[in-house]
Structure 1
Amino acid sequence: MSKPVSGLFAVSESPRPSIAERAAAPSTLPVPRAGGLTWRAWTRQDVPALAALMHAAEQADGRDWFTSPGEVAETFDAPMFDAAADTLVGLDSDSVMRAYAHAERFPTDGVTLLRAALSGGVHPSRRGEGIGTELLAWATGRARQALAAADADPRLSRLPGRISAHIEDGDPAERRDLLRAGGFEPIRYFANLMRDLSVPVPAIGLEPPLRLVPWSDPLEDAARLARNDAFRDHWGSQPRTPESWRAFRSSFAPQWSFLVVDESVEYEGSEQEQPGDGTVPPGTQYVVGLHRAGRYEHDWESQGYTAGYTDLLGVRRAYRGRRIAAALLTHAMHAFAHDGMQHAELDVDTDNPTGAPALYARLGYTKNAGSAAYTIEL
């Protein structure tokens, strides 16, 4: 039996100033004054009202997919989430929520990039009052504070930092203008792809010792390590910790999720692959590819179709070129179709380094929509 290729994360020395210097974090945050709203942090009891506010803002932006109450609720259990520090919601004189913001922080174990991601919105009835501008300033300031805090760890102090926000192609132009005015610039573009499942799906098999198996709890961390190796050369991607890997699973569809293992490998466990990570014991099947799917049933009526969604598709770098991604994706499409789905859907980085867009095109996927990442690079 062969041995797996080790997948270590290396951090190079850099002469750049400390992250505290580059982040230039404000000592206090500028709480919005526009619109005469009253501001406070989110609470778990706010989940239904927050989801309703997000739905109203997203609908006004022209979207046909929405943030569900379940997705809002699971935010409270995500790693690094601190509602008191990282969230804000504005209420009018009737205590109705009219605007919100969240500066999301990420685990720093093994990273080569420090990140914070911003999200927020204003109810359509309160737009044009300057609330969004001040809310963005608050969220950006909070993100700068969060990144600057990493300076306390000498392993992180000299790493690059990024504050990001995501914009859909169909969003109002004012959102792009707002981000640009706040110092953000578009840096990366993504495409939403769809595939009509009424068109026959090819069957692509694997040759031994590779074998496709169902997603299972015992292989969760083995799949996480395969994902970390697969995405090491992808823009903006950082390793997932066990906690972050299991977060945001409200729409996870295990019946549509699959793994590929190499049965010729005598896997010595995650401690051998990632020193200090003992989550995967020796003798566990060696996962080399993964397809993780989502079932976003709450969007089907507004979108006008049913779909199985590929949340994550990855292959270990040493195993690329062996049709693993194609086998996983076509197997998943057959599972989608078997369960009555009309389409298969996924998102892809248009500059994906693995040639994924070409694979999707060969399998019949076509572009349905697009988006962009706007960032401040530190």
Structure 2
Amino acid sequence: MELVWRPLSTADIPVVAALYNAGEAVDDTGELLSEEDFTESFAEADLINGSLAVLVDGTLAAYGFVVLRDEPVGTHRVRLDGMVHPEFRRDGIGRELLPRLVTLARELHAARHGVMPMVACTMVESRSAGHVALCEALGFSADRHFYELEVALGESLAQVPIPAAYEIVPFSAARDEEVRTVCNAAFAGHWGSVERSPEEWAASFTNSKRFVPETSFLALANGAVVGFVLARHYPVVEEMTGVRELWIGDVGTLAEHRGRGVAAALLSWTLAQGKAQGYHRAGLSVDSANSTRALGVYERAGFEVARTWIDYGLPVELGELRS
């Protein structure tokens, strides 16, 4: 089987989306993506220098791309995304694709961030045995586990009162920069977390068509933002499953306001508003080793573990590129 390798282009978005969803139909990871979602992902990537299309007789058999952070600190975890079409699996394509992506990531990282330590990383759903085996065979290690949680937005939702001295208000574009700053402070010190630049923040939230300000809320103390719940909606999930899901992208509270029920109240408020707006289910992801005891907050709100994701990492030597 002769493989043709080239960079991806935006013209590939429809066929990449089709490939991805063909794979998802087999893998059942719950991560459904549309052409519009891939349009956003492609916009974040350096397609010329950081992506690959793998063709067999003119048919897209696999793809991959590299996602760098704007302002990494300490060790730069460079994300690798990609998939092999189910019809082309077990032919060694993934075993060749992943190392090529590592090489691209290494070159991009060195060009932008010099001698900063780098780890190539990729997220794997724990039941995807083939993907797990591939990562481990290539020397990746399971660095962290993340739980994907879900809760049905039914009548049994617990309503948590707003703590005294706080108020909950809808997200406002006028507070966008304040929320970004608070979010960066709230997640400082969390494993794998780095500050979001204004550009990354806009791409994830304010300029993203997936961001839902109507179900995103802020906690204020003395008029200043001290906590937040920021939500997204992916229409493709409803289109393919019939379930209207509210995805909780970020939940956070400034350290000095933790332990007072702020996050629980925010989450309760968001879930109630989500139900009122016709969502059937809410979902979120949490680090299994989160030091702020966030998992307990979510479990008390009714969330249960639906899947486990593994963040696989491979430290990459940069010595040859440092000259």
Question: Quick check: 230-239 or 294-303, which moved more?
Answer: 294-303
Task: Give unmatched runs, 5+ long, in structure 2.
Answer: 317-323
Contact 2:53 2:63 in 1 (8 A): yes
SS of the residue 1:139 aligns to: helix
Q: Corresponding residue for 1:87?
A: 51
Matched to 2:278, the amino acid is G
Specify the code of the residue in structure 1 equivalent to 2:215.
W
Alignment partner of 1:190 is 2:130: no
Alignment correspondent of 1:50: 16
| More strand by percentage | 2
Q: Does 1:71 align with 2:37?
A: yes
Distance 1:348 1:303, change over 3 A: farther
Alignment of 1:201-216 (within 5 A): 201-207=157-163, 209-216=165-172
Kept in 1, the 8 Å contact 2:71–2:196? The answer is no
Asked if structure 1 preserves the Cα contact closer than 8 Å seen for 2:187 and 2:252, the reply is: yes
Match of 2:6 among 23, 36, 40: 40
Q: 1 CA distance for matches of 2:189 and 2:291?
A: 7
1:139 to 89, 96, 101: 101
> Do the aligned partners of 1:87 and 1:100 also contact (CA within 8 Å) in 2?
yes
**Residue pairs, 1:229-240, within 5 angstroms:** 229-240=185-196
Secondary structure at the counterpart of residue 43 of structure 2: coil
SS in 1 for 2:249: strand
Q: Say yes or no: does 1:125 pair with 2:87.
A: yes
- The offset of 1:352, in angstroms, is 0.7
Structure 1 position 134, deviation (Å):
0.6
Q: 1:219 aligns to what?
A: 175
Q: Which structure dedicates a bigger proportion of its chain to helix?
A: 2
Query: What does the per-residue CA deviation read over 1:93-138, in whole Å, with 9 as the maximum and x for residues that have no partner?
Result: 2x322110111111126x2331211111111111121111110110
In structure 2, the partner of 1:167 is: 124
Q: What letter corresponds to residue 50 of structure 2 in structure 1?
A: D
Residue type of the partner of 2:238? Answer: W
Alignment identity in percent?
Answer: 31
Displacement of 1:58 in angstroms is: 2.2
- Amino acid across the alignment from 2:52: L
Separation (CA, whole Å) in 2 of partners of 1:306 and 1:72? 20
Q: Which residue of 1 aligns with 2:201?
A: 245
Residue 207 of structure 1 deviates from its aligned partner by 4.1
Aligned to 2:64: 101
- Report the CA distance shift for 1:369/1:304 in structure 2 as closer, same or farther (over 3 A): farther
Q: Where does residue 261 of structure 2 map in the other structure?
A: 323
TM-score norm. by structure 2 comes to 0.91
Query: 1:254 maps to which residue?
Result: 213
CA deviation map 1:31-65 (0-9, x unaligned): xxxx4132221212221111111111222223343
Q: CA deviation at 1:200?
A: 2.6
The CA RMSD over aligned residues, in Å, is: 1.8
1: CA distance between counterparts of 2:301 and 2:192? Answer: 26
Residue of structure 2 equivalent to 1:62: 28
Q: Which amino acid aligns with 1:137?
A: P
Deviation at 1:304, TM superposition (A): 5.2
**Structure 1, residues 301-357: CA drift from partner, whole Å, max 9, x if none?**
544533211111011112111211111100010011102222221111111111011
TM-score (norm 1): 0.78
| Alignment of 1:339 onto 2:277 | yes
Once structures 1 and 2 are overlaid, which stretch shifts more, 56-65 or 185-194?
56-65
Question: 1:70 Cα shift?
Answer: 1.2
Q: What is the DSSP-based 3-state SS (H/G/I as helix, E as strand, rest coil) of the residue aligned with 1:260?
A: strand
